[in-house]
Structure 1
Amino acid sequence: EEKAREELRKLEKGEAETSELWRRFKDLSLQDFNRIYRLLGIEFDSYAGESFYNPYIEKTIEALKSAGLTRVSEDALIVDLEKYGMPPCLLKKRDDATLYATRDIAAAIYRYETYKFHKNLYVVGSAQRLHFQQVFKVLELMGYPWSKDCHHIELGWIKFEKGAMSTRKGNIVFLEDVLSKSVELVTSIIEEKNPTLENQDRVARQVGVGAVVFWDLSARRNKDINFSWEEALSFEGQTGPYLQYTHARLASVMRRYGEPLPPHPDLSLLSGAQEQKVIKLLSRFPEHLQRAAFDYEPYHLVSYLLELASAFNSFYQSQRILCEDLNLRSARVSLAEATRTVLKEGLRLLGMESPESM
């Protein structure tokens, strides 16, 4: 442990050999991370880890000292937060090494000065609640009005029967393994049920990855999840593949229709109870989207999309969309396309793709 602390001190001071080793490990790690990110369809505009902010730490500490916010306690530099009901925020230990809080304060200042952010969101486990309360309070005491725009988006734990995931304890399942198993399972299902499907590998990836993403987002974000291979890879019931299949079904309807959308459909013909239910749900998409954004809670969007898909599938099972009555057909096709559009956009916002065929 002491050796690790010494290496951290060397890195913070920019010692050449330590810095070069760090850069090598960082580059190798990012290569592997990006491989997984590509599978998930994720790209980042900037990679700025903790060490990126090392040059800004001393300036930050000097600003804290100048503001009269620091004092020495047991040879460590702290910001006393007792009057705010919190333990002290530790900035430097007695060995002069800085801590997460120091770097997070420096990082927040850099981010505002660089990006002039509207919101600064920290999507981190709920175990770090106190840490971020301290960081945000220190930023407020430093006189930064934008500190109120810094938010900790808490995540619950992913747990096993033996406890929470922990890399240190070796109690962990790797995301890559879960994604690979899911894609393999979808591939076997396609080979069994739809062997003539075009672009099988692509669809298997879309559905397999989507199933795992949806499983993660289908619970409230601050709720602990008990990891289960069966649940994570389930394609039955209220799942991501169910939404994707509904989208594929709608895309198939539009291909069979094979014409441009009618410019002025008579929507008054959609008077049935099932049609009306779908229309009402479609009208509420902005409301659910806004709620998900304001609460930082994808679960709201997940629940809405499941309700919409269920309502449309009930309608689809009982009514013909491509019926003989041309006016009614135009109205129902317009309803189908509106539903497909909302499902596709909702899935995109959840980080999932929308297969055209399944």
Structure 2
Amino acid sequence: MKDIIIKELSKHLPLSKKQIENLIETPPSSDLGDYSFPCFTLAKKQKSDPIKICQSLALKIKSKDFEKIEAKGPYINFFLDRNQITKSILEKIQKQKDTFGSSNIGKKKTAVIDMSSPNIAKPFGIGHLRSTIIGNSLAKTGEFQGYKIIKINYLGDWGTPFGKLIAGFKKFGSQAKLKKSPIKHLYEIYVKVNKSEDFDDIGKEWFNKLEANDKEAMKYWKKFRELSLKDFEKIYSLLNIKFDVISGESFYNDKMQATISDLKKKKLLTESEGAQIVDLSKHNLGVALIQKSDGATLYTTRDLTAAIYRKKKYKADCLVYEVGSEQKYHFKQVFKILKLLGHKWAEEAHHVDHGLYLDSDGKKFATRKGKTIFMEDILEETKSLAAKEISKRASLSKAELEKRALAVTRAAIFYGDLKNYRSNDMVFDIKKFIDFEGNTGPYLLYAYARARSILRKAKYKKSKVKINQVSDKEKALILELSKFPQVVLQTCKQFAPNLIANYSYDIAQKFNEFYHAEKVIGSEEESFRLALVDSFSQVLKNSLNLLGIETLEKM
């Protein structure tokens, strides 16, 4: 709807359409119009009174798209023609359906998203959930905007800790326990070896053997990796998240020497106490360690190699790393080194950071009563709570209850996270997430199911809609629905799924206000109002889909 105002204003102003768009505001109250344009910028340029400029400009704009245009102080307030915009928006939603809100801005472009990245030989911890959820939403939003998306699950499967684990397994390991409960057994060993300094040196020795492709070391490592992937797949299946590529740090073992050689060739490497470093101090980025004195490589070396490989392999236009905020400095170093190597494409490498999950006491949500929290336990706890709530509302078969409980679980956890700005720390509170009232995922599923129930009850079939009158509540809902394409675009540009999450809640609120104020079935405006209910449900479905949330026709 902004486009109409931009088009009219551009006829009379010495500003570009982009400049006009950036100045247009949404008034705090509908009494002040649907959109407003402040004249302060013009006043500054023309060295004139903004009120007089507004009055003059308002008289020049003649268009049937507006009910009225008024100059109010230094603002021009635009009141859109409610019948015309309602007809236009409803027709567009009904025609485009699942594609409403999409665009082709990413056409013929490829974005690679590095996300999730759990560590092998450890249970899938709560700490990797944010990257998984946010990365998944960014991928869906990118695809919706026309990008070809490559989702990479970049496993933590290399480094000295795995040397320690091999040494620990040889001392404490049990084949019987490994067969019965592989990941729990490996994690017990991991905790043991990290409590003792006795495994520091022997751990390095075993990791050096891994880097040298030692047969025995590789046998253990491959087994641990295989068992971990099976365990992770259970979690991803519950979350309904898939990847295009499952790779890991180990994949780049035979490719890192080329990166080190390139760094030497560009005279970027310096020796320091036997280690190889890149000195970035003149860029206020300290020192990046590339190779230890014993020849072992580090995260920086592997991430440099991975970036170069991904750019070439996937012809990537954009590299996205959905990784925790604690890695900000690391990625600044990596991107700077890539640029110093002459890779101009590193300008389109982005660290999309996220904050921590916190417990209700404000402490890091990694343990509960001294015990590590595992994702599988969280999902089962949430599903149990969801099933309990659903059972209060309907008597269902076991299979149907399981299906709905899983959908509600995903909605609760995904929305509970994504409604927050990703860089902020957030309280992880399952009981709040699972609430069927308030700003939650289950509430949004219920709003969708309610709309679909109205349509089923009315035996609604799409037809040409005749609009006689549009009430204030109806207009408010229509205007909110019209914003969806712009919200999606901004989400994609800012890597900010919270924009779509918050928008989903806003339209659900507007729908409830409309539904409580206006009779739908049996009213004189039944045909129009059913089309509005249908359009709302379509936009909410599209919106939730971009968050990775599957809707339910019945709750």
Q: What is the aligned length?
A: 353
SS of corresponding position for 1:122: strand
2:535 aligned residue (335, 338, 349): 338
1:223 aligned residue (424, 432, 437): 424
Provide the residue aligned with 1:355 in structure 2: 552
How many angstroms apart in 1 are the aligned matches of 2:366 and 2:274? 32
Provide the residue aligned with 2:390 in structure 1: 190
* More displaced 10-residue stretch of structure 1: 62-71 or 5-14: 5-14
1:243-254 paired onto structure 2 within 5 Å: 243-254=444-455
Provide the residue aligned with 2:516 in structure 1: 317
| 1:301 partnered with 2:500 | yes
Contact 1:165 1:172 survives alignment (8 Å) = no
How many angstroms apart in 1 are the aligned matches of 2:418 and 2:284? 33
| 1:67 partnered with 2:263 | no
Aligned residue type for 1:200: L
| Alpha-carbon distance change, 338 to 151 in structure 1, aligned in 2, over 3 angstroms | same
How many angstroms apart in 2 are the aligned matches of 1:35 and 1:285? 34
Provide the residue aligned with 2:358 in structure 1: 159
1:265 aligned residue (444, 450, 465): 465
* More displaced 10-residue stretch of structure 1: 287-296 or 190-199: 190-199
Provide the residue aligned with 2:410 in structure 1: 209
Offset of residue 170 of structure 1: 5.9
| 1:138 partnered with 2:138 | no
Offset of residue 180 of structure 1: 1.1
Contact 1:165 1:171 survives alignment (8 Å) = no
How many angstroms apart in 1 are the aligned matches of 2:371 and 2:210? 29
CA RMSD, Structure 1 to Structure 2 (Å): 1.8
Provide the residue aligned with 2:376 in structure 1: 176
Aligned residue type for 2:385: L
| 1:290 partnered with 2:506 | no
SS of corresponding position for 1:55: coil
Contact 2:449 2:554 survives alignment (8 Å) = yes
How many angstroms apart in 2 are the aligned matches of 1:118 and 1:270? 48
Gaps of at least 5 residues in structure 2 are 1-199
| Alpha-carbon distance change, 60 to 304 in structure 1, aligned in 2, over 3 angstroms | same
SS of corresponding position for 2:228: helix
Contact 1:270 1:332 survives alignment (8 Å) = no
How many angstroms apart in 2 are the aligned matches of 1:342 and 1:172? 39
How many angstroms apart in 2 are the aligned matches of 1:172 and 1:56? 35
Provide the residue aligned with 2:225 in structure 1: 26
Provide the residue aligned with 1:11 in structure 2: 210
Contact 1:270 1:276 survives alignment (8 Å) = no
| Alpha-carbon distance change, 98 to 165 in structure 1, aligned in 2, over 3 angstroms | farther
Offset of residue 335 of structure 1: 1.0
How many angstroms apart in 1 are the aligned matches of 2:317 and 2:522? 50
Offset of residue 182 of structure 1: 1.3
Contact 1:211 1:240 survives alignment (8 Å) = yes
Contact 1:247 1:355 survives alignment (8 Å) = yes
SS of corresponding position for 1:79: strand
1:281 aligned residue (477, 480, 491): 480
Provide the residue aligned with 1:40 in structure 2: 239
Give a deviation string over 1:251-298, Cα, whole Å, max 9, x none: 112222324301x2124x351011001100000001111111111111
| Alpha-carbon distance change, 5 to 234 in structure 1, aligned in 2, over 3 angstroms | farther
Aligned residue type for 1:334: A
SS of corresponding position for 1:121: strand
Give a deviation string over 1:166-193, Cα, whole Å, max 9, x none: 58x9664222222211111111122222
Q: Among all aligned residue pairs of Structure 1 and Structure 2, give the percentage whose two residues are the same amino acid.
A: 37
Offset of residue 320 of structure 1: 2.0
How many angstroms apart in 1 are the aligned matches of 2:420 and 2:203? 38
Offset of residue 211 of structure 1: 0.4
Offset of residue 324 of structure 1: 4.0
Provide the residue aligned with 2:437 in structure 1: 236
SS of corresponding position for 2:233: helix
Offset of residue 61 of structure 1: 0.6
| 1:119 partnered with 2:340 | no
SS of corresponding position for 1:78: strand
Contact 1:323 1:329 survives alignment (8 Å) = yes
How many angstroms apart in 2 are the aligned matches of 1:299 and 1:187? 27
How many angstroms apart in 1 are the aligned matches of 2:230 and 2:538? 35
| Alpha-carbon distance change, 354 to 162 in structure 1, aligned in 2, over 3 angstroms | closer
How many angstroms apart in 2 are the aligned matches of 1:153 and 1:123? 5
How many angstroms apart in 1 are the aligned matches of 2:488 and 2:326? 28
How many angstroms apart in 1 are the aligned matches of 2:330 and 2:365? 20
Aligned residue type for 2:442: P
